[in-house]
Amino acid sequence: MSTSRTKKTTTDAVPFALGLGANLPSRGESAVGTLGQALDCLEDLVGSLQVGPLYRSRPLAARRQRAAPPQQDYFNTVAVGRTVLSPDAVLALAKGLELAAGRALVARPGERDGPRPLDIDLLLYGDTVSQRRELRLPHPRLLERRFALAPLAAIAPHWPVPPGGDSVSHHLAALGEEQWLVEIPWPDAGPRPS
């Protein structure tokens, strides 16, 4: 008995958006250097990425006035690409990069708002909506995070966020400017916003 297999092609590629953040050095790199290395690795693994501006933001715990260990400001950006990989596979790549950067040494799985050498979230995967415990799409806190929406709006302002379909720029405007965020230049050797 013969079976036929269909191979996904680049025309089947789905757009995805990853949010990246760091506020601790990792393996001799500054937090910004770690972001640059993660973006280089991601491009090696999934192909060309469009990288958003670099932002500095206050830790979420400080903004929520919750008890949390003192920590430095975060550096954040977003990368957008296209892939034939499943959303689970993209998330697995992201979590592997977090582990390689030493995240397991400072943060337990599921711990929120703590310091991190690298944090990568799958924000959007096409128009996919998922409520599975291990993969929620769109990212459940995307619309609450100016540090994710601002760099995403800079490179993909018209991306419709499911399930309602309002654009990223619409959600950024609706969030307002309550959360402190400042755009900073990428270092000369770092990635360039596209």
Q: Which residues are known to be catalytic? A: 103, 116, 119, 121
Q: CA 32, CA 38: separation in Å to the nearest integer?
A: 10
First to last CA, the chain: 49
Count Cα neighbours of 104 within 13 Å in the Cβ-side half-sphere.
5
Name the residue among 128, 120, 130, 174 with its Cα closest to residue 150. 174
Q: CA 177, CA 174: separation in Å to the nearest integer?
A: 9
Cα dihedral across residues 127, 92, 103, 16: positive or negative = negative
